[in-house]
Structures are given as structure tokens and as C-alpha cells.
Amino acid sequence: MSTSPLRLVFAGTPEFAARHLQALIDDGQHHIVAAYTQPDRPSGRGKKTQPSAVKQCATKAGIPVFQPINFREAADREILASHNADLMIVVAYGLLLPQSVLDIPRLGCVNVHGSLLPRWRGAAPIQRAIEAGDQETGVTIMQMDAGLDTGAMLSKISCSIGPTDSAADLLERLADLGGAGLIDTITALANGQARPEVQDNTLSNYAPKITKAEAEIDWRLDAMSVDRKIRAFIPFPICYTRFAASRPDERIKIWRAQAESKHAHGHTAGVIISADKAGILVACGDGCLRILELQMPGGKILAARDVLNSRAEQFAPGTCFANQGAV
């Protein structure tokens, strides 16, 4: 069945959202009349003001960009209404839209969410799924309401979470799945064939935003939990550890590790058991974690064996890492 082109407004901010915008641009079935994104903010080491990934994508495609702080001002809602949009697509925009905004487009607003709802609602569903040890995740496209990821579901696409997957890996896969699923969902909405499914609120969990304060490793956790957290916090904010007795302010970032079930043989959690070409083996509350790639302060990401070439004494067996919250 052919679909009449819709007038779309797109709202999103990071690269994950930009991938969905690009999918709509490449598809070419509909007219994207405006793109909304967060105001330009400082980022990177130099803290230079940078446009969001969505703004860069929209600008390159010649799509008008709007960057209101929020929609509390009537003027901002009037501008949105002036686009005469049939549908508004929201992907990781960063704002909780009020009902007065959701009611503006003829077909309302739909959101692409990186979880098999209602499993993880909130800002960091992909990271929290890995951290919790979920074996499956996916993308849900839902009709938005005024709640936090509570709207009726229009489409769900699943994918497995592998034992070595990081949040960066899943973001890449889910962006591909979400883009294709979004195009199909828009077609169903345009043809009146969408079949919304109400969420079961009793199955929901909240996925709070990832903070830098969470990134320090607590070696008293079991090795599997530490490994999952390391993978969940890539590409941001990257888990780190510190030496307990020396250089307490130096953060050693851990980029890749492997949980091992072998017993720590009475070693205190955080103690380095061995350090060799196979990596740096650290005792956890249960089991051990082998650090495979790390980054010293101000340095590059290196394999553990390469770090040991010049820092073997620093990582000598018996050396202890600090636990989260320890001074």
C-alpha cells in the first residue's frame, strides 16, 4: 500500500538520535520540515561550544533547526505548531515534553526508546540493561504521553546482549534496528494500521542517568558485576580504580576486562593477584577480574601487557586498589 508523504518534525540530540534522523533522510518517503535539538553546549577537553549530532545532521541536509531551552514559552509552542506537522519523532531529545506539546502534531508524537519496554524506563536503558545482566534488549517505538516512557507501544524489535558487549556496541546495533523500525512504524501510522499495545506498569524498572560518581569500581562486588559495569559505562563515563596506598587521586580507567570464576584464595577485594602477559588479575568479593586494557592518567588506551612493560612494579602482586568510597 502506498503511503502519502507526511510532514515530520524530528527532535533529538546525541549521535544515537542523529542515526535515526539520517535513516529518515535516506528513506526519503516523508518531508522533514524541522529538527529540534538541545542548545549548543561546551564539550570535549577544550570545552568549546559544539552543536549536537542532530544539529550537524539536520544542517547538512538543509533541515531548519530549532533549539528552545524548553517549551514553557508560548512562543516556542506556536513555532512548533507553525510547522503543521503530521507527526513528531522524538529520539533521546533530553526533554520531558508536556501534553501541550504532544497534542500539537496531527498524529501526536512517537518516541524511539532503547529498551524492550516496559523493562527499562528512563535516561540510560541500554547501560542499565548491561549492568543488570540482561541477556536481551531492543528498541521500542511508542506513542508518547505525558509520563516517562509510559506510552502505548507501536513496535518492538529485540536483540541479544552478548557476554562482551559494551554500551557502545549495543548503541550501534540498536541505532540500526531503530531506524528501520521507525520507518515501518511511520508507514503503519500513516495508513491507519498501527496497533498500540498498553504497557504493563508492574514490569517496569527505572534506568537513571549515568553519573561520573558511579564510575569508581567497588572490588567488593562479585567479578561478574564489576565486568558488567565496566561494559555498561563504555563509552561514558568509563569505570576507573585507584591505588589504595599511593597516588590516591590518580584514576586508572579500565576499558576491557574479563570476569573469572577462580577463587581469590583469601585475598582482600582489590588486591592484585598476578600481573603478566595475560593481564592484571584482581581479587573481587567473589571471583576475580582480569584487566585486559587500561588507560593511565593522561595516557593512551593500552593492553595491560604493554602497560606492565614500563610499570610492572606499580602493579606488582600484593598491591591493592581502593574500593569505591574509600579515602
What's the total number of domains in the chain?
Answer: 2
Residue 325: predicted pLDDT: 67
**pLDDT tens, residue by residue, 82-138:** 999 999 999 999 998 999 999 999 999 999 999 999 999 999 999 999 999 999 999
Q: Are residues 103 and 76 in the same domain?
A: yes
Least confident of 129-133, 154-158, 240-244: 240-244
**pLDDT tens, residue by residue, 29-84:** 999 999 999 999 887 777 789 999 999 999 999 999 999 999 999 999 999 999 99
Q: Are residues 184 and 119 in the same domain?
A: yes
Residue 129: predicted pLDDT: 98
With bands split at pLDDT 50, 70 and 90, how would you rate the model's confidence at 1? Answer: very low
Residue 3: predicted pLDDT: 66
Residue 199 CA from chain centroid, whole number: 22
Average pLDDT, the chain: 94
CA atoms within 13 A on the CB side of 271: 13
Domain span holding position 32:
7-206
Q: Are residues 58 and 162 in the same domain?
A: yes
Higher pLDDT, 301 or 249: 301
Could you tell me if residue 17 is inside a domain?
yes
Can you give the CATH number for the domain in which 282 is found? 3.10.25.10
Say if CB 242 and CB 252 are below 8 A apart.
yes
Residues contacting 125, CB < 8 A, separation 6+: 113, 114, 115, 119, 137, 207
Residues contacting 236, CB < 8 A, separation 6+: 210
Question: At 66, which helix (H) or strand (E)?
Answer: strand 65-66
Can you give the CATH number for the domain in which 182 is found? 3.40.50.170
118 is in an annotated binding site: yes
Could you tell me if residue 294 is inside a domain?
yes
Q: Are residues 283 and 186 in the same domain?
A: no
Residue 48: predicted pLDDT: 87
Assess whether pLDDT exceeds 50 at residue 158. Answer: yes
Could you tell me if residue 280 is inside a domain?
yes
Q: Are residues 133 and 269 in the same domain?
A: no
Q: Is the pTM value of this prediction over 0.95?
A: no
Q: Are residues 201 and 246 in the same domain?
A: no
Q: Are residues 235 and 175 in the same domain?
A: no
Residue 42: predicted pLDDT: 86
Could you give the residue ranges of the DSSP H alpha helices within the chain?
A: 15-27, 53-60, 74-82, 99-102, 125-132, 167-190, 223-232, 304-311
Of 175, 206, 237, the one marking the end of a domain is: 206
95 is in an annotated binding site: no
Of 144, 173, 206, the one marking the end of a domain is: 206
Q: Are residues 101 and 43 in the same domain?
A: yes
Q: Please tell me whether residue 140 adopts helix, strand or coil conformation.
A: strand
115 is in an annotated binding site: yes
